[in-house]
Structure 1
């Protein structure tokens, strides 16, 4: 067992995590929990149903440390053991006995109580990797298991942002590409845009790129894509922004299974801090899986009845499928188009029951010029209000605060006065 403990005495949060409380997906590992109470067992099972646990294999048993010790006398230990202690147990003695039957490399998370008297130094000596004070919540379990592999391993676990339109032609791709540009430029985060509309994708046009290779070279190859392959397929748009383009050809039919893109996403997560998915407007197994598996979701809609219905349906489905995540966000695009009847913004908000992350006004000249020149909105007009909206969206989706100019030292005025007197 690895001796690296992370103390966690924070108050349990009843709310879903905020944007900056990022919890990385759990890798393909086996986790076995031995619980003393039904309440704890139910919480651990709920964590196992979360999207971040989709690749892990979880089993939950009753009996605490005694059951774990008995079980591992005759079977190999998993990657992670979750062990709930009881008031009547001797935690240190139990850990000593568990260590005698535990395989090297197994990580241990202990769920204790405020009445535990075992000092943290002794827990560390016995190989405890994390100690959580009960009663626990679902997010405590997710955060603990995720941190074992995202904080202690030399692996970058990239944040995935998915952008999808509530209806075709609402400008979801334009929003995705401009937000990704702002993340790379204004947030200074290395980012990748993945154009998932293989037949009709426009990311190559928007970024003025014509790469020889694209996502089809990864999806249709027989072997699992690795980091070296993905690096070869990426087109460099800026110093910090790369593009995994769509072939945008009709010489084949692009039908995929639900897990078709998993290997691509997993590989890029290992090397890229931020991944923006430009998801086409369709409802299939793989689009649903990509949306549910993303860390942040933005639904782009126009202010009309079909968009309102579709946006509400998508939001309801994703909220139900992601109970431990912040609800998906949405933005209103092309608002105020001349001579077009529109649903008022306040009525749209009332029906959706949440405010949009942004309300982007219609500006045919600005967006048309950017699209025809292969430019971003900020390249056409950096001071335009819409350019600033994309930066604000980038800040919220990445959990980064507003960029500020560096301030001078607080002691500066005092030092200047002293120099003047000298």
Structure 2
């Protein structure tokens, strides 16, 4: 039999963590091309959903109907992608023959993953020797597929990317920026963790005021110079707010208009993720292409709202839309701010949260003196009054958002793991 000229995974992964927490922590897949050929609608549906997942937003993912023979015919006239995923119902002997024909048209750099319907250790070993990167047994889950792709194309030795936490207000003036900045401070001080704030409200951003900073450069220079963006250039644009907190400030100027395409902020955010473990995105209230893209790709989203009808409507729209954009991620977090304003009719917390289907991460009472003093002095709440209940609430929010999840040890094993373990015992 002719050996397939495909990339070989020397140490096939035996354990697949399939829980939602592991999926949320998974790093984005790089800009690769992926093509899948499916014989069953169930597998095709899983792969279509995989291609729509935010972790594969950079990848080009296509799903076609057909098996290995169809893929072979298709690639006689065109080059193969970075990754080829093939579902097959073929029995082992016929499968190996079909792969020999595929090897004739498959480029050496292409990795191949087979989704089969035979749980056979001999077949698994034959596929590995033939150069197949991984063999999955149907039915497969979205997490199984993303994990395999990540194992093949994300360098395990690379430094973990920083997590992005996006704060956005359900309505203007609800205090989303103030909470974002104070939570960032708490994360950096209490947890001694490096945090970067990116103020994305270029015309009206307040992060520079809230931290008493007046940097000559900031996020505008980064956005308008995407080809120059790297860790060194970004570091020059940062203002140090404390030992562990840095700020990518907005110009807060109306000298120009700020109209951006959907990907305008992506190079800045991706570079920031390579620099610090926690990137807080202060997203302005609005709905543009770039805001939608930024929120859809964030690791965590925090919506701040006041307990009134307009905020409830907007929060409901935001949550429903983000669930559609991020079907494989947890729902956004909710913070109710400025609760209990004197003489102002408001919706109770339970009545506000029931239509949203969420339990609030925190309910912060109205306290104009504390917040006003902090804003006017350019200092965080914790510096104004560290023992105030609101300061303690901010600390709790920070601890919840910055928790570090370890690698799961109780995840599911790959379909053939039990067979391989048995084979290992026999060979001793």
TM-score range, shorter chain: 0.7 to 0.9
Give the Å deviation of 1:166. 0.9
Residue 55 of structure 2, aligned match among 48, 52, 55: 52
Q: Superposed, which structure 2 residues align to 1:284-299 within 5 Å?
A: 284-299=288-303
Give CA deviations for 1:52-108 in whole Å, capped at 9, x if unaligned.
Answer: 322211122344334444444553332222233435134666666655654344333
Counterpart of 1:363 in structure 2 is 367
Please show how residues 78-157 of structure 1 align to structure 2 within 5 Å: 78-86=81-89, 88-90=91-93, 101-113=105-117, 115-118=119-122, 124-152=128-156, 154=158, 156-157=160-161
* Correspondent of 1:313 among 288, 294, 317: 317
Q: Determine if contact 1:18/1:326 at 8 Å carries over to the other structure.
A: no
Compute the displacement of 1:216 (Å).
1.0
Q: Secondary structure at the match of 1:257?
A: coil
Question: Is the counterpart of residue 373 in structure 1 residue 377 in structure 2?
Answer: yes
Distance 1:96 1:68, change over 3 A: same
Kindly report the root-mean-square deviation, in angstroms, between the aligned alpha carbons of the 2 structures. 2.8
State how far apart, in whole Å, the 2-side matches of 1:180 and 1:128 are.
45
Counterpart for residue 7 of structure 1? 13
Task: From the superposition, tell whether residues 107 and 395 of structure 1 become closer, same or farther in structure 2 (CA, over 3 Å).
Answer: farther
Aligned length, in residue pairs: 399
Q: 1:70 to 1:189 in 2, by over 3 A?
A: farther
8 Å Cα contact 1:7-1:132 kept in structure 2: no
Superposition deviation, residue 176 in structure 1: 1.0
Q: Which residue of 1 aligns with 2:399?
A: 395
Residue 278 (structure 1) shift: 0.4
Deviation, 1:120, is 6.2
1:278 pairs with 2:282? yes
Unmatched runs of 5 consecutive residues or more in structure 1: 403-422
Contact 1:20 1:398 in 2 (8 A): no
Kept in 2: contact 1:80–1:108 (CA 8 A) = yes
Deviation at 1:339, TM superposition (A): 3.1
Say if 1:124 and 1:169 are closer, same or farther in 2 by CA, change over 3 A. Answer: same
Q: 2:328 maps to which residue?
A: 324
What is aligned with 2:219? 215
TM-score by length of 2: 0.83
Shift of the 81–205 alpha-carbon distance from structure 1 to 2, 3 Å rule, reads: same
Instruction: Render the CA deviation track for 1:184-234: whole Å, top value 9, x for unaligned.
Output: 334444322110111111111222222111111122237352332212112
Separation in structure 2 between the aligned mates of residue 374 and residue 121 of structure 1, nearest angstrom? 64
Unaligned runs of 5+ in 2: 1-6, 407-428
Question: How far is 1:164 from its partner?
Answer: 0.5
Q: 339, 343, 356: which one pairs with 2:343?
A: 339
For 1:7, what is the secondary structure of its paired residue? Answer: coil
Distance (Å, rounded) in 2 between the aligned partners of 1:116 and 1:33: 23
Identify which range, 279-288 or 111-120, moves more after superposition: 111-120
Other-structure match for 1:416:
none
Residues 226, 268 of structure 2: 8 Å contact kept? no
